[in-house]
Amino acid sequence: MLKLSIVIPVYNIERYLPCCLDSILNQDFSDFEIICINDGSKDGSLEVLKSYKQKDNRIIIVDKANEGSGVARNYGLNIARGEFVYFVDGDDSLIDGALSKIVQVAEDNYLDILIFGAYSCYDKIQRKGSYSVDRLPKKFFNRLFSSKDIKSDIFKFPTTAWTKLYRREFLIENNVKFQEIKVGQDQLLFCHSFIKAERIMIYPENIYRYRKNREGSVTSTKFKCNYSPIYVFDAIEKLLKSENLTKEYESIFLDTYFSKATSWLGKFDEKLKPDYYKEYMKLLAHIQKEYPFGWWVRFNPEISDTYGSLKLKQFIAKACNFVLR
């Protein structure tokens, strides 16, 4: 069996794609396929892919209409053949020798998930950042653990797909997929995999280079303009209900993702904020009814609230809930 499938969604990254592909093709590990999903790029990304495929037949190109990286990654996962699967963003890159190291550890320990760190890169500057292995909880180093072991520590691990190597069979058996939305596609896959995995380990090195502040990247947008946190909350809630884990994880997942939706309210584009506020208040009413013991029952946001005032109101609501509980 092919050892590794690398899935890369590609959208308007002509400038960065060669660096990404070179960092993979020049590895000292070769038993892989690279599934590149051209997601309706309008620049020369497809031509770059075709030129690389002429030089290396391990590259598979799927050319499709633009539907977002969640759809693209799921498409790649569906056609992947490797024992393990790794999701790489096409504007990022790997350090030398990365693949041989992580595949060996995952294979030797028959892992569902292997977690590792990433450098943050600004142009030619590489440094340790928020995804560095130094940020991972040290108590889980040098040991095998499961989802049950990390329940209370789950958000001490990065939610990004590119900081993890997955056993493909584990994802398929549990129907673990990316959410098909424009931003935050990783969140559902992260939550689903981290409540189902039985064999997880940390590889204590940074093996990935994450490009920060790329022009055109959705994560670099200053003001928010979509409903992704609300969509993520809905998907996580549906997942927990389907697994009969709502009560067990209510204070972990629901708190985290409702807080995210709240922070976006304070960062939303002013012209679009009224519509987001309406949907946000529907979400608030829903969780106040469904989960009447959380801090949100004492939370009363207004459309005029800034990011800072929302954080203050949230802090007060949590403090009051703790005292009165």
Residue 124 has pLDDT above 90, yes or no: no
pLDDT in tens, 302-317: 999 999 999 999 999 9
pLDDT in tens, 211-229: 986 555 555 466 788 999 9
Residue 169 has pLDDT above 90, yes or no: yes
User: pLDDT band at residue 129, thresholds of 50, 70 and 90?
Assistant: confident
pLDDT at residue 323, rounded to an integer = 61
Architecture of domain 4-220: Alpha-Beta Complex (3.90)
What percent of the chain clears pLDDT 90, i.e. is strictly above it? 84
Q: How confident is the model over 53-82, as a mean pLDDT? A: 96
pLDDT at residue 227, rounded to an integer = 93
Among 40, 94, 85, 87, residue whose Cα is nearest residue 186: 87
Name the pTM for this structure.
0.93
Q: How confident is the model over 109-128, as a mean pLDDT? A: 89
CB distance 52 to 99 below 8 Å: no
Which one-letter DSSP state was computed for residue 270? T
313 in helix, strand or coil? helix
pLDDT in tens, 249-307: 888 888 899 999 999 999 999 999 999 999 999 999 999 999 998 899 999 999 999 99
Residue 114 has pLDDT above 80, yes or no: yes
In whole angstroms, what is the distance from residue 12 CA to residue 43 CA? Answer: 5
pLDDT at residue 223, rounded to an integer = 76
Give the C-alpha distances (Å, rounded to integers) separating 284 from 45, 277, 295, 299: 42, 10, 11, 9
Q: State the average pLDDT for the chain.
A: 93
Which one-letter DSSP state was computed for residue 161? G
Q: Which of 16-30, 118-132, 234-248 has the lowest mean pLDDT?
A: 118-132
Give the C-alpha distances (Å, rounded to integers) separating 135 from 89, 108, 118, 119, 138: 21, 25, 10, 11, 8
Residue 217 φ/ψ, nearest 5 degrees: -75, 140
pLDDT at residue 307, rounded to an integer = 94
